[in-house]
Chain A
Amino acid sequence: MFREIKNLIIKDLILEWRQKYAFNGMILYVVSTVFMAYMSFKLKTNSIEPITWNTLFWIILLFSAVNSITKSFIQEKAGRQLYYYQIARPSAIIMAKIAYNFILMAFLGVVGFIIYLAFMGNQVQDMPMYMLALALGALGFSSSLTLISGIASKTDNTAGLMAVLSFPIILPMLTMLIKLSKNAMDGLNAANSRDEIMVIAGIDLIVIALSYMLFPYLWKS
């Protein structure tokens, strides 16, 4: 089981490395949205409130996550999918996809954050806590969006449905993430954020467990 997952992750990473199209597209996506935010906030008035600063970053991250994870199941042709169906267990496939998307999202989150800091200025006081929020966010986005992308990939209008299906589901997590990262921005004591961390970790666990159980039904069709 673990070897299967490991091999599938390596396969995805190699595929990504050879094509680089998804990854480059994502980075460009983040850069251009951050630049747009910079143009509309910083350039004109040179002031942005902390709440807006934080929420804007998470919304940019959410949109780039939805955009990049949408591709997880449509990147490869149906024939190849059938081949994986023969050689790997569905639960291994979903776990590998979640892990791969997590790596992707964590990387994207850090790169996006650096770009964001460069353009919009730093307002964070407790950096390690903000990084923890980023990591939890990457895990949450990858786990809940991967199964949704599996559902959306079976339809004709994948990109449109992806947004419609995922936003209501990701909303609870996003609100908690914004709250946690706001705590980090204000440099609050770590004990104040324990509640949020527990809730986000709990949602992540529920979502991963459900993906593990539900994906086999999805994979059949």
Chain B
Amino acid sequence: MNKYWWKFLASGLLLYTVWFGFSGEVPRQPILNETIRNVYFHVPMWFGMMALMISSLVYSIKYLQKGKIEDDIYAVEFANVAIVFGLLGFLTGSLWGNFTWGSPLPKDPKIIAVEVGLLIYAAYFVLRGSFEDEQKKARLSAVYNIFAFASFMPLVWILPRLTDSLHPGNGGNPAFGKYDMDNSMRMVFYPAVMAWILIGVWISTLKIRIRLMRNKVNEV
């Protein structure tokens, strides 16, 4: 019980998010109207992706230090789920943008950032696909993962200087927390972020366990 209590927490929080996300009270904002509910589903995707990317990075560094193949499997699966979260964030965002900004793909630094992030991780998987030897694959892709992450980070703080952002909290727009969200929304938003991050970690651990078991079967 004490090992998987957080899975109950995650599913509980997610149920809470979905229930109150769709039925809870939200402030009436011009243009946004009811679409503001998307904040419970779109914004946490970005948080979740970042959390998973950082976990992937940590395990890549660990692999280079110790050389254990398990760490490499952790890094890959975290990156895998990070891609899924990135895609979902992208889709929910373009759905939302379609109704509020009038275009599913407006010119916006955050969209460019997530596109580049997806490109980097796609390249990471292409790189992995081109090796046969497991240790070599793990070492080279860990090097690329660290290098790519470190050059991805500047992008996140460079891009807002290039074009104005439509996103709240950038380019002089007020952040969500300041004006748009009232206390009842915050009661849902913070649990939603927690829930999505935990769900991401849960999915990753499931995939990791499958991979580890398959490795063991192959050995036997």
Question: CB within 8 Å of B: which residues of A?
Answer: 144, 147-148, 151, 154-157, 161, 164-165, 167-169, 171-173, 175-176, 179, 195, 199, 202-203, 206-207, 210-211, 214, 217-218, 220-221
Contact = CB atoms under 8 A, between A and B. Distances in A.
B136 A210 contact: no
Contacts of A156: 130
A169 B120 contact: yes
A217 B162 contact: no
Contacts of A165: 123, 126-127, 144
B176 interface: no
A156 B144 CA distance: 17
Interface string B118-156: 011001001100110001100110111011101110110
B108 to A, nearest CB: 14
A120 B179 CA distance: 51
> Which of B119, B139, B151, B159 gathers the greatest number of chain A CB atoms within 10 Å?
B151
Q: Which of A151, A171, A195 has the most chain B CB within a 10 Å cutoff?
A: A171
A154 B140 contact: yes
Nearest to A147: B147
Which secondary structure characterizes the binding site on chain B? Answer: helix
Contact of B136 (A144, A179, A211, A221): A221
B151 A172 contact: yes
Contact of A206 (B120, B148, B151): B151
Contacts of B150: 206-207, 210
A203 B151 contact: yes
B17 to A, nearest CB: 32
Contacts of B154: 172, 199, 202-203, 206
Contacts of B15: none
Contacts of B155: 171-172
A142 B87 CA distance: 32
A179 B163 CA distance: 11
Contact of A168 (B123, B130, B159): B123
